[in-house]
Amino acid sequence: MTAKILVSACLMGHAVRYDGASKPLSHPAIDRWRSDGRLVTICPEMSAGMPVPRPPAEIAGGQAGSDVLSGTARVVEKTGRDVTDEFVRAAENALALALETGCRFALLIDGSPSCGSGFIYDGSFSGAQHSGMGVTAALLRQNGIEVYSDSEIDRLVDKAG
């Protein structure tokens, strides 16, 4: 059987982002994977009970998702509220769903403190980015799931078929 692909709900057109928007990804492979029943859709933050819309959140201090998972970094909203526990629970929910449904790959929206895999924001809420992964992307990768950003879909097509 062909491996399934965990995909960010916002990439599938669901209005679940912090600002209440979506970021639909249009690519022939998406349509093919959907018709083949290979896509497993999740918004990690919504799975953890976070509302839409919600204040923007970033990983503090220019750190990354792996630092959050190890307990050495926090995820904070622009309001200053600590949402680390929610983001860790979101990552755990995404991992559980991926394992339960046989996902070997994940296609996640870049930039998110949850789903980012190429870049994330630096915690200053200034729009500054740095290389790194969000909490969900880091946990998936730590558990052997290959993570691709929306800008890497052609690489995923080469790998996943």
Q: 158, 32, 47, 34: which is closest to 98 by C-alpha?
A: 47
Global confidence as pTM: 0.97
**If DSSP codes are grouped into helix, strand and coil, which group holds residue 42?**
strand
Percentage above 90 pLDDT, the chain: 98
Contact 40, 96 (CB under 8 A): no
Judge whether 42 lies within some domain: no
Judge whether 58 lies within some domain: yes
Query: For the segment 62-120, what is each residue's pLDDT rounded down to a tens digit?
Result: 999 999 999 999 999 999 999 999 999 999 999 999 999 999 999 999 999 999 999 99
Label residue 24 left, alpha or beta by phi (over 0 means left) and psi (-120 to 50 means alpha): beta
pLDDT of residue 17: 96
* Burial of 119: CB neighbours in 10 Å, binned 0-12, 13-18, 19+: middle
Judge whether 43 lies within some domain: no
How many domains are contained in the chain?
1
Enclosing domain of residue 124: 48-103+119-141
Q: Is the pLDDT of residue 1 over 70?
A: no
Run of H or E including 57: strand 57-59
